Chains A and B, each alone.
Chain A
Amino acid sequence: MVKRGNWTRRELLRSSAVAAGSLVFSGAAGPLAFAAGSDTIRVGVIGCGGRGSEAAKNCVDSSPGVKIVALADAFGDRPQGVKKSFGVPDDRCFVGLDAYKQVLALPDVNLVILATPPGFRPIHLAEAIKQGKNVFMEKPVCVCPAGYKMVVEASEQAQQKGLAIVTGTQRRHQGVYVEAMKRIHDGAIGNIVSAQCYWNMGGLWVNKRQPGQGDVDWQIRNWLYFTWLSGDHICEQHVHNLDVVNWAFKDAQPVEVHGLGGRQYRTGPEYGNIFDHFGVEYTYPNDVKTISMCRQIEGTADNVSERVVGTKGVWRSEPGVIEGEKPWRYEGPSVDPYVQEHTDLIKSIRDGKPLNEGKRIADSTLCAIMGRESAYSRIRFQRSWFLGRCTLNLLPAEDLKLSDARPVPAVAVPGQYQLPGWVQEGRRGKRGA
């Protein structure tokens, strides 16, 4: 979901100015590897909901010479706003669950924005890379280990083909984070011995089921609340914070996970089958343990932040400070990171040095998925087990239709929930105290 910062008009203008400056430079100097004979970035938007529309705008705002030229969405009403804003002709607006294929088949499109519900992302990414498109994709990028593997493979292919993949974990493009991480990696807080991250907030939008609406139709309209579509809120939102903690560890991955969670307040049928809170312990190499907490319950205490603790100091994302032996406070410019990520993407394409964040975001998404599955089952497991042996596959069928029957899966109940692949190793969870 979109978590917008409170950007003032002045900051937005300043960020546009920065973007313009970088364009003049790269536009004048760089050979354009992406589309011979033209320096225009021609963008197809796949998934025209709130985030897709915003991303399209961010992309156009980020750099001159960017044009939205094609749209796809599962529903006919969705692309209307974007279509109007960017003057996309009727015959370039595609509707349906396979509309993404039509956009990806257009030879003039050289960048696509993937912003459908995350459950579809692996399939869409694989097709985009196959069709030779550069990609901006929203987070998270998968909801199960099967999807994770598809994203990793597509990212490797992108590398071989010289295609860019940038993802909507915008903190990686935000000065206050980038500068802090540089220092953490340079040892400003010593060795990392602990970390905490949180996405505790109220509720989000709900699309209630309309009379006569089919299962798949309604679930996609109301996708936040179904694990197969959103990955649950730990995946859909909290991935931002988990990604930051991974970043602090130089993208070393946790080796073990143990989670708790449940659905205590938000229990109505309109909330599908996801939980409303999670608490997960991630154990990184050298037995460094971290706290992850996320909650979506209206009227509870907010906290969206990260904190990393080292032997020589502490970094806090709010307000962006290091305390300890080498105190530091971010004093750089405040640029809209939702625009900056597109600026960086397009510059990398134009410079012929495509960014590829695919594997990295897949790993961070996998952290969230592991936390979710551990909380659903309350089983403590190793990442190596999850990647090697867990057979969970929530990918939608190739021929999925909006009219398909698809009952809402049961809310996970520990002790009953089957973690696919765990059965034969069942007693591992007993390895206790």
Chain B
Amino acid sequence: MSSQGNKGVSGTSAGVAGATVAAVLGQMAHAQGSDRIRVGMLGCGGRGNGAIQNCLDADPGVEIIALADLFESQAKGTRDRFMKNEKYKDRIKVNDDHIFSGFDCHEKIAKCEAELLLMATAPAFRGRQLMAAIKAGKHVFTEKPVGTDVAGCKEVMEASRLAKEKNLAIVAGTQRRHQAGYVETMKRIHDGAIGELVGGQCYWYGDGIWFHGVPEKVQMSELEWQVYNWYHFTWLSGDQICEQHIHNIDVMNWCFNGPPAKFTAVGGRQWRSSNPEQVKTAKEVCGKFNNGSEENWEKYNGDIWDHIYAEFEYPNGARCLSFSGHSPGSGRNGEKIVGTKGSSDCNRGITGENAWSFQGGGIDPMVQEHKDLIASIRSGKPLNEGQRVAESTLTAIAARMAACTGRTFTWKWLMGASKLELVPRDVKPGPGLFHKIATGRDELV
């Protein structure tokens, strides 16, 4: 990093460079006598494939030795894809007995000899998967979000405590925390460059998202199809606010060094239910699982909303806007934090009394996060972002709960009293798990 000569490059990066030196000096806890890091991938969808590449790019010592997915075809397809790639094929060392599938594939992969597991399965299962990995002594890179309900996030918090005890690393795919522009800007915000924080906004508003039918060549049950089409079911994805907007919410929490104290929100599903392409696919799926009958197709159309407008009240009283959703032809993504002496986009600079702008530098943050993770493992000072990403995931979940119920509640209530648990402990192939679309005045659990 320092070889790039950018003054703007973050303290984190400098720390990483230092850590790498330490690694060269041979303080490697991870694999005695070698700078090799054996990596297993859990969840071989789009993001999983991306994470493998990011991890391979981050460090030459990385070798992929195991792949796991609910569907064997996904895991094998991922191996084939990387084996065809000249750049990576020498570091793909996945034997057939290291291809794991099924709903218990996380338990199987936890038993293999990998030192580091990457996780990119549907967010619903992250808590139990992370717990299994930490218990088995693995370092973990986990994609965000890390849960879809309160119980799942608490399990992540528990696993993080355990990781700390066992000196294991947990890094999360909220890559802005590893992006030089954010890191540098945030340092200034925390040093008071914009004064006391009194407000802010964050947005992730996009065009829409894929909707998967049942693939021709794969045999799957209803429930497996739901997992394959996970984005569209709240119990699996946490809804868009949780799945995507968590990035921006995490930045707001970063500004305030912790989660909000109070939540109020409105939201709904105004166009997804009538989106013609999606309806067509949902009817086809219905037909496949019901002997050709499309009569009760609506439940196959998913239950997530398409917009949530939330207010976060932070412990110091500042009220911030969270603006998220999908609809055709829209795009908005970012953050703004407002203080008594200026404001900032949290990334490119600061306006006001202490105006400053980030001069560039740093590498792809989705690679940087793996570099930081690996360096921390090698230095014997493992990063642990588990508690933090669980808090940001819970912040998104809380906003969704406030919108779905029409209630205003506190973080204290959420942590102490909420019993929200959407994911069954025993998930197996079989009938789907369908919920009614939230009404805006559902019961607060």
Contacts and interface: CB of A to CB of B under 8 A. Distances in A.
A303 interface: yes
A209 interface: no
B332 interface: yes
A297 B265 CA distance: 13
A281 B307 CA distance: 14
Given A193-B338, A297-B440, A300-B407, A258 B323 contact: yes
B406 A300 contact: yes
B441 A262 contact: no
A196 B319 contact: yes
A318 interface: no
B199 A301 contact: no
Contact of A263 (B198, B268, B275): B268
Contact of B199 (A190, A261, A309): A309
A262 B327 CA distance: 12
Interface string A390-424: 00000000000000000000001111100000000
Q: Give the interface residue-count category, chain A.
A: 35 or more
A229 to B, nearest CB: 21
A173 to B, nearest CB: 28
B269 A414 contact: no
B336 interface: yes
A279 B440 contact: no
A414 B328 contact: yes
Nearest to B332: A432
B11 interface: no
A280 to B, nearest CB: 8
Given A301-B406, A432-B331, A194 B338 contact: yes
Nearest to B195: A311
A301 B407 CA distance: 5
A193 B199 contact: yes
A263 B270 contact: yes
A260 B269 contact: no
A301 B332 contact: no
A293 B308 CA distance: 11
A363 interface: no
B331 to A, nearest CB: 3
Contact of A299 (B270, B274, B441): B441
B434 interface: no
Contacts of A261: 266, 268, 270, 307
Contacts of B205: 378
Contacts of B2: none
Contacts of A264: 267-270, 438-440
B329 A265 contact: no
A194 B319 contact: yes
Interface string B332-347: 1110101111010000
A413 B274 contact: yes
Q: Give the interface residue-count category, chain B.
A: 35 or more
A121 interface: no
A84 interface: no
Given A277-B267, A297-B441, A414-B271, A289 B317 contact: no
Contacts of A372: none
Contact of A293 (B198, B269, B307, B311): B311
A309 B330 contact: no
B321 A289 contact: yes
B329 A277 contact: no
Contacts of A276: 440
B333 A196 contact: no
- Tell me which of A190, A278, A289 has the highest count of chain B C-beta atoms within 10 A of its own C-beta: A289
B142 interface: no
A314 interface: yes
B225 to A, nearest CB: 26
A295 interface: yes
Given A262-B307, A264-B269, A293-B309, A433 B264 contact: no
Contacts of A314: 198, 317
B12 interface: no
Contacts of B406: 295, 297, 299-301
A41 B421 CA distance: 65
Nearest to B330: A378
A113 to B, nearest CB: 34
A194 B408 contact: no
A299 to B, nearest CB: 5
Interface in B298-327: 306-311, 317-319, 321, 323, 325, 327
Nearest to B331: A432
A414 B327 contact: yes
B201 A415 contact: no
Nearest to A312: B340
Contacts of B332: 258, 380, 432-433
22 contacts: A193-B199, A193-B338, A193-B340, A193-B343, A262-B267, A262-B268, A262-B269, A262-B270, A264-B270, A265-B439, A265-B440, A277-B268, A277-B440, A279-B267, A279-B323, A303-B264, A303-B408, A413-B271, A414-B306, A415-B329, A430-B331, A433-B334
6 A-B pairs with least C-beta separation: A279-B309, A300-B406, A262-B268, A194-B199, A432-B331, A264-B268
Interface of B: 195, 198-199, 201, 203, 205, 264-271, 274-275, 306-311, 317-319, 321, 323, 325, 327-334, 336, 338-341, 343, 405-408, 438-441
Interface of A: 190, 193-194, 196, 200, 258, 260-265, 276-281, 287, 289, 291, 293, 295, 297-301, 303, 307, 309, 311-312, 314, 378-380, 412-416, 426, 429-430, 432-433
Given A193-B338, A277-B440, A300-B406, 13 more contacts: A200-B266, A262-B267, A279-B266, A279-B309, A281-B201, A287-B343, A311-B195, A311-B341, A314-B317, A378-B327, A413-B271, A414-B327, A415-B329
